[in-house]
Every structure is written in structure tokens, then in C-alpha cells.
A and B are shown apart, each in its own frame.
Chain A
Amino acid sequence: MFVFFIRRLLGMIPTLLLISVVCFTVIKLQPGNFTDQYLEDPRFTKETVEAITRQLGLNDPAWLQYLKWLWGVVTRFDFGYSFANSRPVISMIGERLGWTVFIAALTLLATWIIAVPMGIYTAFNRHRAPAQIANFLGYLGLAVPDFLAALLLIALVLSLGGTNVGGLNSPDFIGAPWSAAKLLDLLNHLWIPVLAVALEGVASLMRQMRASTLDVLGQDYIRTARAKGLRGSVVVWRHAVRNAVNPIISLAGLSLPTLISGTIIISIVLNLPTIGPQLYEALINKDQYLALTLLMLSAFLLLVGNLLADLALAWADPRVRYS
């Protein structure tokens, strides 16, 4: 097991290298330059373009830029500078990582807490009206994009006279020290993004859970369990769910990168201080090292998520063994 873990970890290195090359190439292939966004300013001249291009090392051929970046990462753990902010990429990301992970984790958690029991319920009671209604609501959630749901929630709050229409806190509490009132204010703002994002994720996860539970329900060992007179709840949780949950665990691993990319649009609409909009801006403006580092972080999370899912699978299912 330990050997497996180490081997997988080492296997990540070439994968990450390859991903970084691909990402960098794609960023470079995008038309336009970092300086394009400034052209309309009267202060901006050809000389300024040249000076900035030189300062940023954009005169070098692309492969050299990449190698310099890689060398910085390997030797100093330096992921380069953000062109726009003249600050190390790491500190820019660090500034927002906390809120990003917090919000994304919360929405993931909310999705799971709603979707998994609903999936199980709709599988066991698939012919009853509540299950049909749950299915319908799930599909509705899937069909409505999260940002639209967020806008609708904002409109609802506004029409009810509320003021918690975006952001994480009311203006007065932003930057204030933590207190019970601030926490309450945070919760009052947080339910909108959590609900909007979670609703979208619920349907697919619920269907997954439902399908794999249904698969399991037809199995002999469930019939056996029922036949030997076990209680309904034991059949459900110990026999059915335990076996049905495997694909869901793999799915969980894959959802780790959404910590970064899952909330881009909703963060813009709801004005959340997360990494999403930063990645968007960086890609649009060709802030290459910031964009590259964020994409790498996302790829890294995907690999780690997969690894964790595999480990979790081994823990949850005694039949799965790695050697």
C-alpha cells in the first residue's frame, strides 16, 4: 500500500511537467499580448510596450520563458511574478486561497449532504410521488446554471427588502475583527452561493447515487440479507449503500479541482473574493505565470484527488487492494 502511494506520488511528477508544458503552450498560442489591455490609455506608447516587454522577460523565446519559470519553481519554489500586480504569484494566490477553499468545500459538502441521501431515497422508493418530485427538482437544479440561480436568489432577497445581495459580508463588517455579529452576517450572505452552487451539483450526484444503488438492489446478497430477516436500515446502510458508494468516491476525487474552477462565474456574479475571477482575468490578459500556476494548481488537485479517491476506495471496499 505504502509502495503504491509512493509510486503514484512519483508518477505525478512527469504528468505535472507534461501538463505545465501543454498549459504554457496554450497560453502562448492565445492571440494578443499582455500589453494590449493598456493600449487605449494616452500614456501608453510603443516605448512603454517595449519597456514592459523587456522588464517581464517577454523578449525571450517562449521555451526559454518556460524553462526559466520551471527553474524558479524547482530551485526556489518560486512560481514567478504576476505581470499585472508586480507581486509573486504565490502571495496573490495565498491571499485568496482561504476563502476559495472554504466556499468550495462548503458547497461540495452541501451538495453531498443533499444529494447522497436523496439518491438513496429515490432508489428505494423510486415509484412513489416524493421520489418523482425529488427527481424533478434535481433536474431543475441541473438545468438552471448556478449563476442564474444566484441572480434569481438575489432578486428574491432584494424584493424582500434584504441587503445581503452578494459578497461575503456587509460593507461594515469587511475588514472588521471577527465577532459573533460578523459570523452571523457571513452566514446570512453565504447561503446564497452555497445553495446556488449546490443545487446545480445535486442532480448529477443524486442520479449517480440512485443508479448505483439500483444496481446493487438487484444483487443476490441484498435478497439474501432481506431473506435472513435483517432490519431494513441494516440492509440499506450496511449492504446496499456500502457497495453502491464506490463510484461516488471516485467522483469525489474528480471534483477536487472544482475548488479552483467551479466557482468562476458565480464568484463574479456574487462578488466573492475567490481565485476563480483571478484565473479568468489572468487568462484574458495573458498574465501568463499567474494563469499557469493556477492551472497547475488545478491539475495538481485533480491528481491528488484521484489518489485520495483510490486510497479511500481501498479503505471503503475490502475487495480493492493495491500492490
Chain B
Amino acid sequence: MKRGGSILLASLLLASAAAAAPKKVTGYDSLGITTGKPGGTYTLALGDSPQSFNYYGVIDNNLGLVAQQLFDGLVEYNYKTYKVEPALAESWTVTDGGKTYTFKLRQGVKWSDGQDFDADDVVFTYDQIIQNPEARAGDAASFIIGGQRVKFEKVDKYTVRATLAKPAPAFILQMRNFIMPKHKLLKYSVEGGAKSADINTAWGTNVDPSEVVGTGPFKLASYVAGQKVTLAKNANYWKVDAKNQKLPYLDRVEFLIIRDPQAQVAQFLAKNIDQLNISGAQFPDLKSREVAGAPFKVVRSVALFGSPPFLAFNFDAKDPALAKVFSDVRFRKAMQSAINRDRIIDQVYNGLAGPPGHGVAPANTAFYANTKAQLGSFSLQAAGAALDAMGLKDTDGDGIRNIARGKNLEFDLTYGTDSSVYPPMATILQNDLKQIGVKVNLKGILASRLLSTGQSGNWEAILHAFGDQPDPELRKPIWQPGGALYYWHRDLLPAKDGDTPNIKAMFPWEKQIYDIFDEASTATEQSRRKALYTRWQLIFAQNLPVIPIAKPENIGAISNNFGNYIYNLGVIPGYNPVPLIYQK
């Protein structure tokens, strides 16, 4: 509440200065942000056609990329610090021991069709869409706190109150959800007389663009199936720059639909695309072109967001002998010593990655605890000695260690084949482990099937990655033992979602982590939460539920025609620096 309080104070000061205050975007000099000039068209790539224009109708990354230019949430991230700051809500207070959130909405904000934005839209969005369990891309589960649905009420035209059954400090982060126009979507909602699943059919890709109304910096202008999405400046946008010039600067944002990453690079080189996020593998070519005088810059940035790959072992592997070995922390530590992180960073990422954190990105100043010492160093001798000490020795002289008499220490490593990083990583691991008498059989699957394979339990070891977020609470289902995505120890899963997991089956360190997440999810003091999550990271680093491998940097390429570029991973609701971009 301390945090909320200080923001509240700042916002109240702002609010008292002007009643209908647009948000002034300042303080990013250190990111190289200057005053821009209006005009210009900015062209980006989209990996596939959007499946709808209704953000809550379908989970679709391409839709998300478009939608974040069309809509805003009540709060958003600071571009530099990743702290939560006001957006459509000008301020908020947290009372009743962290159980009541009262949002003062920004007055004078208009939808792109000229209608007023007010509390009705906010209550409608949360109550009728996000909390609608039939909305395919809604988020009903996150709004059941303490077993009860969060209640959203309109207090007056510009005040909204949310009531929680128990304190949840990360709740404010959920307020980044995009607010939708009630006057356009009412007819697809239960309140408007429709069936609850009907919301999914709103704003299909064949919708009249003028129907898709938002508060965001841009509005939908046209869509040519399979080819291009065009957005035009929203003249009603509520942000201004340091000199009170209206944002966004750009007149148009265009998304060219290009599936193949190589084709995207070709289009970038042909100057048909102005900005492109690239991988470490593509970096050397583009960078050498930049150095040779090509009219673009390749920008590296240390990433908070982004997915650091890890190696996981199935504690509940079908083979009981393997399951026993995998559950042994000595084995996982031995495997960690056999992971040549430097080589992977060098060869797989072209040096564009750093050592990983444990569940928290090293760039996350609010929560990261320095666990670098626990990463250890690469040593096949040490790994071999540790396996020897566990009694896993080669007893039959075939060059492979034995788990039991006549049974080799041999397992399948599942990885994604359609990725630039997993296949070389898997090969490096396989070769290094072979040298210490551990036989790895590579098992390639589609990267999009990694999670479902993990959750099926039908694997032995796996290379996978989950995205980092600013607040560990947002990643609780992954890292809290017994969580829905904690798939390396599925024995802990509760019989029904939301029930208490199988605590008896937890290792002592897992129980500790479990308790930490439980306490942190309701602790309201930031210092207490930081202390708890620090302990979690240390326990994680010592016990290695999974073995993190590296944290890739983010790399973006941007045409020299544009200024004020800030790296933008993709769809992170509440993190959209595009309004600041201007054409030189």
C-alpha cells in the first residue's frame, strides 16, 4: 500500500492541477526520448493474420500486437522502471486492509468515435467480458480472489470500486487489462441480452473498421485479408509529450502480415518494414550491414520480458528408477555443472545473452536477488564426480553409467525443432553429457507443443521456457509447487483447479516455496514481498526445480527514419512505447 500511496499522492497533485488532464509522458531522457514532430507512417511486421479484432474473443499474439495500439488499461508500466503508473485511471486508493481499490478515472477521455469514456465502460469490461468464463480470452480465473469473484461497481461517472475477498497486492497489475467500449459491445454481452459465449463472435476480422472503437493511440482503418492491417491516428488520444504536443506523433501504423522470419528480414532490408525484432542468430548479418552503412540501427537491450530457456527433469518420470534419480537434487546439480552456459551463450545466441536469474530476470530491479554464485561453473569432471558420489557408475564397461544392474543412465530430451535456439542447445547438451557417460536421446517436437507435452507427463527431460514478468506473483502458476504449470512435479497437482495441492508429496524445499508464494500473494508491504521472493530465488537456485540456462537479450532493428525507439517485446499489455515514435 505504500507504493500505491506514493503514486496516489503524485497523481493527486497532478489531478489538482487540471481536472481534465491528459497524461504527460516525460522523464525518459535516459532512454533517448526527445520531442518529436507529427506525421509519418510506421510499418511493422505481423507474424500472421489476426484471428479477430476482439481482444477478449481469441488468444492470439497477432491480435494482441494490433490491440495494444487500439486500447488502454486503467494502469500501465513505466517504460524505464516497469513500475505501475496511471493510465485511464488518473489515481487510485487502496483501503480496507488492501481489499478495496477505488479508481478515479481520467476525465475528458473520449473513445475514438467521440463518445465519452467513463465508469460504465470499466465496469462493463470487467464484469461482462473479462470475468465472463465463456470469453475465450477473458481472464475470469485471475479475478476470483479468496474464492470469490472480484466485484466491480460504479461509484459515480468517474469512479470505480473493486472489492476483493482478501488482499492481493498484485491485483493492481491485473488492471492493465484493456478497457472496451460498452456502447459498441453491449449487444454481445449478457447484460445486453446475448448469451455469454456470444462475446467471442464480436468484431470478427470481417467487421466494419469503424465499429472497432478504442481509447488507444490509433484506431483501426482497414484490414486486407492476409496482407495488411492499417491503423490511423486517434485524434482523441489522452497523452501529450513534454511540450504538451498531442501524442501519438505518427499518422498511421501499418502491419504487414509476413509469416516467415526470413521474409520479414528481407522486407526490412527492402525498407518495406521500419522496425523488426530479431533473434541472436540474425544479429551478425544485420549488424554488419549497419556497420557497412545501411540506413538502420540494430539495438540490443537487456531484457526484463522475454523467455529464458531451462532444462527440466520429470520428477514423476514413467520409469521409476529415472524418477528417483531426477528427484534427487544432487543429480540436478550435477547436470547443472555439465551445462556449458558460456558456450551456449556464445554459439546459440551469438553472445547476445547473459546468465539467467531464477524465476526473476536479472534486469528486474524490484525483485531480482543475485543468484549468480549458485549457477556454478561448467565442469564435466565435477559433474562426473557428483554422479560417481551418487553411485551412478558405469558397472558394465559400455561407456554409459548404470542406474541399476544392466540398466543404463539414459533418457529422452524433448525440445522444439522449429526454433533457432532449442536444437543447437539440445545437441550441445547431448554431446557434453555423453562425455560423462550419460546417454541422451533427442526427441524433437513442435515448439508450440512443448507445454502440452510437459503437462501430459509423457517426457523425461525437456528444454522449454516461460516468459519473465515484472512481478513474481504473475508467474505463480509456474513457480509455486502444485501450480498448473509446475509440470516437472505433477504429483503435486490438486485434483481440481484451485484446490490445495498435494502438500504431503512436496519436498521440504518445495513446501517452503509453496508457503512463500502463499504469503507473498497477500502481503501488502513491498519490502516484505521483496524479502520473501528473495528467499524463494535462493531456494530455487539451490534446489533447481528446473535448471535455467541463459537469459537472452532483446534485439530490435529500427530504420534511421524514426526517432524515440524503445525496445518493445511484443504483447505486454501496459507497455506500448509506439505513441512516442516519430518520423524524422
Are the CB atoms of B133 and A271 closer together than 8 Å?
no
Which residue of B59, B258, B269 contacts A38 across the interface (Cβ within 8 Å)? Answer: B59
Chain B residues within 8 Å of A44, by CB: 59
Within 8 Å of chain A (Cβ to Cβ): is B142? yes
Are the CB atoms of A47 and B497 closer together than 8 Å?
yes
Are the CB atoms of B133 and A51 closer together than 8 Å?
yes
* Distance to closest chain B CB from A40 (angstroms): 5
Are the CB atoms of A175 and B222 closer together than 8 Å?
yes
Within 8 Å of chain B (Cβ to Cβ): is A168? yes
* Distance to closest chain A CB from B36 (angstroms): 22
Are the CB atoms of B136 and A52 closer together than 8 Å?
yes
Chain B residues within 8 Å of A48, by CB: 133, 136, 138, 140-141
Which residue of A46, A85, A163, A174 contacts B224 across the interface (Cβ within 8 Å)? Answer: A174
CA gap between A46 and B257 in the complex, in Å: 31
Given contacts A158-B270, A171-B43, contact A42 B477 (CB under 8 A): yes
Contact with B along A258-278 (1 / 0, CB 8 A): 000000000011110110010
- Give the nearest-CB partner of B226 in chain A: A273
Are the CB atoms of B449 and A170 closer together than 8 Å?
no
Are the CB atoms of A84 and B136 closer together than 8 Å?
no
Within 8 Å of chain B (Cβ to Cβ): is A220? no
Chain A residues within 8 Å of B257, by CB: 271, 273
Q: Which of B230, B256, B272, B455 has the most CB of A within 10 A?
A: B272
Contact with B along A154-198 (1 / 0, CB 8 A): 110110001111111111001100000000000000000000000
Within 8 Å of chain B (Cβ to Cβ): is A55? yes
A-B contact count (CB 8 A): 146
Are the CB atoms of B452 and A158 closer together than 8 Å?
no
* Distance to closest chain B CB from A58 (angstroms): 13
Interface residues on B, range: 35 or more
Which residue of B57, B137, B260 contacts A43 across the interface (Cβ within 8 Å)? Answer: B137
Given contacts A171-B43, A271-B257, contact A86 B134 (CB under 8 A): no
Are the CB atoms of B269 and A51 closer together than 8 Å?
no
Chain B residues within 8 Å of A40, by CB: 451, 466
- Give the nearest-CB partner of B225 in chain A: A95
Within 8 Å of chain B (Cβ to Cβ): is A37? yes
Segment from B198-206, B321-329, B340-348 that makes contact with A: B198-206
Contact with A along B434-453 (1 / 0, CB 8 A): 00000000000010110110
CA gap between A273 and B226 in the complex, in Å: 5
Are the CB atoms of B138 and A43 closer together than 8 Å?
yes
CA gap between A46 and B494 in the complex, in Å: 12
Given contacts A95-B226, A174-B228, contact A163 B448 (CB under 8 A): no
Chain B residues within 8 Å of A37, by CB: 448
* Distance to closest chain B CB from A56 (angstroms): 10
Given contacts A86-B200, A158-B270, contact A46 B497 (CB under 8 A): yes
Are the CB atoms of B59 and A170 closer together than 8 Å?
no
Within 8 Å of chain A (Cβ to Cβ): is B175? no
Are the CB atoms of A86 and B259 closer together than 8 Å?
no
Are the CB atoms of A86 and B201 closer together than 8 Å?
yes
Within 8 Å of chain A (Cβ to Cβ): is B278? no
Chain A contacts to B: CB under 8 angstroms = 32-33, 36-48, 51-52, 55, 84-87, 91, 95-96, 99, 151, 154-155, 157-158, 162-171, 174-175, 268-271, 273-274, 277, 281, 284
Which 4 residue pairs across A and B have the least CB separation, nearest first?
A: A273-B226, A36-B452, A163-B270, A45-B141
Given contacts A39-B452, A163-B271, 13 further A-B contacts (CB under 8 A): A33-B452, A36-B452, A42-B474, A47-B133, A47-B497, A163-B272, A164-B270, A165-B270, A167-B256, A171-B43, A171-B272, A174-B256, A271-B267
27 residue pairs bridging A and B, Cβ less than 8 Å apart: A37-B448, A38-B59, A40-B451, A42-B474, A43-B59, A43-B139, A46-B497, A47-B140, A48-B133, A51-B134, A55-B134, A55-B136, A85-B51, A86-B201, A87-B204, A95-B226, A158-B266, A163-B272, A167-B227, A167-B258, A167-B272, A169-B227, A174-B256, A175-B224, A175-B227, A269-B260, A271-B259
